[in-house]
Amino acid sequence: MTAVRTLVLWCPDWPVSAAELVDGVAATDPVAVLHANRVVACSEQARAKGVRRGLRRREAQSRCPQLTVVAHDPARDTRAFEPVVAAVEELVAGVAVVRPGVCAMPARGPARHLGGEEAAAERIIEQVAQACAVESQVGIADGAFAAGLAARTGQAVPPGGTPRFLADQPVEALGRPALADLLRRLGVRTLGDFAALPSGDVLARFGADGALAHQLAAGRDHRPLAVRQPPADLTVTVDQDEPLDRVDAAAFVARALAERLHDRLTAYGLACTRLGIEAVTAHGQELHRTWRHDGLLTAAAIADRTRWQLDGWLSGGRSGTESARPTAGIVRLRLVPDGVVASGALQPGLWGEAGEERDRAHRALSRIQGVLGPEAVVTAVLGGGRSPADQVRLVPWGDERRSARPGPPAPVRSPSRSGEPPWPGRLPPPSPAVVLPEPLAAAVRDAVEEPVVVSARLAVSAAPAWLTVADGRPVAITGWTGPWPVDERWWAPAEAQRRARFQVCLADGAALLLAVEGGRWLVEASYD
């Protein structure tokens, strides 16, 4: 049985490209995508600096101090790849997504109606470049496995030539690190060497997965493609003859559009958890914002978030600056359910989540938000960071409470960092009870009234004895500990922060967290 001629489209460094498309990360800069503190993908510029897959974060940053680090996000990669697959489906039917950045399709159909296999490959690459501004390569061979390897070099393997093409490939091309390591230790270094082994012996020694890999190495790839079912078009759009330049008129349109979106989702048994709001002005200016939600968005919740966003745009942005306003009224409004789940997929917790009191509180708080805006009701979320101020962010009621990954700016005003360890330089417990919104200037002196100085090597000139906050009276320091150094983003001079922290006890019973930065003493927080 001959393997089916297959065409595979491969987008190099797709996690980096997805970070550029979704998060706005410049892929022309040195960029690395990390998972479990190791590089899983990097840009061409990062590779030129010596960054490679598998490196630890510290090693990668030591090789390239200007490296931009992006967290691994499979959902982001999948979401960004959807327009690429849609662009391919405009030319070819029966597209199967292998993984984000790679899709496969039978080569016979495109070759027949696009003038041959090579012409079809060129046309598909051009289509993806024009529709999505994404670079890609195409490989053609007998079977999806060989076509995927051919796509790495952008070649078309002649019919019947797949076993010869695979013979020189290293065993690591199988994508099974444990098996490849074992084969290397047994002296089997290429797929041709592996394919030459008797099938029965391979099955007995390596099991079913090894037998499947043996068939792939020999070019006997008979697995059918899992053709993708195009998702239902859930986006709703409204065009206006007269541009919308008043918030009340835009809110009226938004409510009707929100009900249409909710009805369409309900018809498919779906609910929205992440809402994309897009607008086009009369001058062609395009506006976009994504709102995340911690539960299922009702029709009223969709309408409220749309109204809040329109208010932010038409009123000059939340900064209130006139320059942030659109240059003309809105003529097109589109709501995109960027994240959908089955309407029964999100279940409340077993204890304390499904009571009538919680539902009543949720409705009341949502009603307050509907009148006063999303930031009228906020909740605190713990996250990562080295300073107490970084470890807590305020999230509008109803928005996602998990530590946000780097991505398109959700309507959350406080910075967010991953709470996953490690955070070198993080203060030991207990945590401060009160964190000041703005640190207070202070002066620290020793027993002879001389200023206490901390050197670059963290040497303290003398034991702190007196503390003066702002223009207040000096208070005696009865105990102190430190310094705890923090040296953040040393590789980016414009963003670098170097400071040292001290915990002090005062004669009046207070306990404070002090920081010294650039020779200035600051009061950051207080303890109970």
Per-residue pLDDT tens digits of the chain, which is 528 residues long: 567 899 999 999 999 999 998 888 888 999 999 998 999 999 999 999 999 999 999 999 999 999 999 999 988 898 889 889 989 988 988 888 889 999 999 998 899 988 999 999 999 999 999 989 999 999 999 999 999 999 999 999 999 999 999 999 999 999 899 999 999 999 999 999 999 999 999 999 999 899 999 999 999 887 777 766 666 678 899 998 888 888 888 888 888 999 999 888 888 778 887 888 999 998 888 888 888 776 678 888 888 888 888 888 887 644 333 445 777 889 999 998 877 776 654 555 544 444 556 656 666 776 677 667 667 777 777 776 777 777 777 777 666 665 543 333 334 333 445 555 567 667 777 778 888 888 899 999 999 989 999 988 888 999 999 999 887 888 999 999 888 888 877 777 777 888 888 999 999 888 999 999 888 899 988 998
Which residues, 6+ apart, have CB-to-CB distance to 313 below 8 Å?
Answer: 279, 287, 325, 326, 330
Do 403 and 389 meet the contact criterion of CB atoms below 8 Å apart? no
Do 497 and 403 meet the contact criterion of CB atoms below 8 Å apart? no
Longest dimension (CA), the chain: 92
Do 94 and 105 meet the contact criterion of CB atoms below 8 Å apart? yes
> What pLDDT does 404 receive?
41
> What pLDDT does 402 receive?
59
* 194 sits in which H/E element: helix 191-195
> What pLDDT does 408 receive?
36
Its sign, for the CA torsion 18, 24, 27, 32, is negative
pTM for the full predicted model: 0.55
> What pLDDT does 42 receive?
94
Do 139 and 149 meet the contact criterion of CB atoms below 8 Å apart? yes
> What pLDDT does 323 receive?
43
Q: Tokens 């696009």 label which residue? A: 114
**One-character DSSP codes across 61-125:** HHH-TTPEEEE--HHHHHHHHHHHHHHHHTT-SS-EEEETTEEEEESHHHHHHTTSHHHHHHHHH
> What pLDDT does 34 receive?
94
